[in-house]
Structure 1
Amino acid sequence: MKAVHNEMETYRKSAVERAAAGLPPLPLTAAQTAELVNGLLAGMPSDSEQEGVELLTDQVPPGVDPAAAIKARFLASVATGEIQLASLSRRRATFRLGTMLGGFNVEPLIALLDDNEVGDVAVEALRKTILIFANFELLTRKAEAGSIRAGEVLKSWAAAEWFTSRPAVPQVVELGACQRFCVQGS
């Protein structure tokens, strides 16, 4: 990734040092994320672009910190088609946007509901997102205006599918050779 220099070089060195100590790399900071996005926008060789997309999607944690805001804006730009990358399709960008769990990704996902190419991916992402904050009103207005996909998301939330679609809690959890935890009543 020759187009990305200072911040990302520091990140790579840190990741190597941490790996040698048996530790995972730290998440990307906002400055590192911004430098990475600028490198992706400047055009990288395809193998470097793929590595950059993987770093962006895997090393910027979900949430509402400044790095997540940069990640969400970038993924939303790819998801809408404003930015085109060989290594990240609109559908994949929408999916990745949906893995951010809430916060900066919600408004772009709601906007993408009307997009025929990626709207179904946005529906699936929003069905599993509960940290929507003030965007509930935005989704409600969209549903009231006749958006079928927005209505699907609201119905899914009302049915608590974000919870009921998760794997069941096991009745027995083995903690070790002699320890055992059982759910009451089993």
Structure 2
Amino acid sequence: MKTKKEKEIFKNTFKMNDTIFLIKEIQEEHQHYLKEEIDKYEISYEQLKLLLAIKNNPKVNQKDLSEIYDINESSITRSIRKLEKNQYINRIPNLENHRKKDLILTKKSEETLNSLIKHENNWTTKLKNILTLNEEEQLNTLLKKFNENKTKQINKPKVKTEKILKKPVEKIFGQEYKIIKN
């Protein structure tokens, strides 16, 4: 944890306004909270993201994961090998294309994800208990407004999202986990 003085130095050095700084602080607290739990299972946050994508997209393959996260396939391969070695996933031949391997979760990973999702829900509950329903709605409205307009201000191109697999998008840990197909 950062001390109050460290936080002020960071804030002042980057000339952050209070809103941006508070958002950053909450996000860092959340990462710390989640990391403590993830570490118990000896997986990384990146591996967790892969497990969530596999959970929500049956028979996904490494190429799909590479496209979803815009990560090169060799990095995905290394992570997948570690997950397979630690018995979190299995690779099985794709029935339509035998050169491809579909990724499926093991019972161990299902139990791990259930535990992490429960842990995440505890975080969400703690935060929701701070605000009234009306305050939460107001905060969400303001954050959505900020989020929708930030890309216009930064001129960052949006991710391509035309064709999505049949299963609806699920948000876990504040992120969407759905493969986008071209």
Shared fold (TM-score, shorter chain, > 0.5) = no
Give TM-score, length-normalised by structure 2.
0.27
The structure with the greater share of residues assigned to strand is 2
Give me the TM-score of the superposition, normalised by structure 1: 0.27
